[in-house]
Amino acid sequence: GIQVEQSPPDLILQEGANSTLRCNFSDSVNNLQWFHQNPWGQLINLFYIPSGTKQNGRLSATTVATERYSLLYISSSQTTDSGVYFCAGSYNQGGKLIFGQGTELSVKP
Amino acid sequence: EAGVAQSPRYKIIEKRQSVAFWCNPISGHATLYWYQQILGQGPKLLIQFQNNGVVDDSQLPKDRFSAERLKGVDSTLKIQPAKLEDSAVYLCASRPWTGGAKTQYFGPGTRLLVL
């Protein structure tokens, strides 16, 4: 099956710093999504981005489908950005998501 | 628009007991998913419904887990009997079947601890 690899596994930032999270897929995927899992366990949708670039405030994402990777950019990080970031993709019409292991981000004040 | 609802939020049981979780998807979403998230890992699909039919249950431990979506709306996931390794967060998600972006929306999850 498809393997999803996220890097780095852990990241510690000072408030105000920028960061880039990466997601690599072993095969072509569609329905690629980025999520933020907050400390209470809720998975919050950040982006649906099977290809191209999108921006939402301080966050942006780029997916290069032909090279099977996606990047999530966080600018001017805040303590509320802390949590685990997951990317996930599906490879069939049914949409079953295959998740990476996540990147745990900690933003210090 | 109301999100995906799940209950209970937390459950503690002893091994060999049974437990049931409930999910109400976003209105109009034909596709419903149950995922299991073990601590420190990403969620993994247990079962997928399209309306009230099962699309994918290949990863569901059918000797102890069962799920149903009788009227194509709400769904129930049951574990009987529970094992220690079933301790996890159980996440329900839904999405439209056709049209537009195939974004999955997740509920808050049910955190299960088996003692």
A100/B42 touch (CB, cutoff 8 Å), yes or no:
yes
Out of A43, A48, A94, closest to residue B48 by CB: A94
B43 — pLDDT class (breaks 50, 70, 90): very high
Q: Is the pLDDT of residue B74 over 90?
A: yes
Give the number of C-alpha atoms closer than 13 A to the C-alpha of residue B69, restricted to the C-beta side: 24
Query: Please, what is the end-to-end C-alpha distance for chain B in angstroms?
Result: 37
Each residue's pLDDT tens digit, B16-26: 999 999 999 99
Task: Decide which of A101 and B101 is more confident.
Answer: A101
Out of B31, B104, B108, closest to residue A33 by CB: B104
What residues of A are in contact with residue B44 (Cβ under 8 Å)?
99
Beta strands in chain A (DSSP E): 4-7, 10-14, 19-25, 30-37, 43-48, 52-56, 59-64, 69-74, 83-90, 98-99, 103-108
By C-alpha distance, the chain A residue nearest B102 is A31
CA neighbor of A104 nearest in space, from A31, A19, A24, A45: A19
pLDDT of residue A95: 78
Is residue B30 left, alpha or beta, with left meaning phi > 0 and alpha meaning psi from -120 to 50?
alpha
How close, in Å, is residue B17 to chain A by CA atoms? Answer: 25
Each residue's pLDDT tens digit, B77-115: 999 999 999 999 999 999 987 655 588 999 999 999 999
Mean pLDDT (chain B) is 93
Does B39 contact chain A (CB < 8 Å)? no
How close, in Å, is residue B15 to chain A by CA atoms? Answer: 24
Does B22 contact chain A (CB < 8 Å)? no
> Is residue B85 helix, strand or coil?
helix
pLDDT of residue B72: 83
B106/A35 touch (CB, cutoff 8 Å), yes or no:
yes
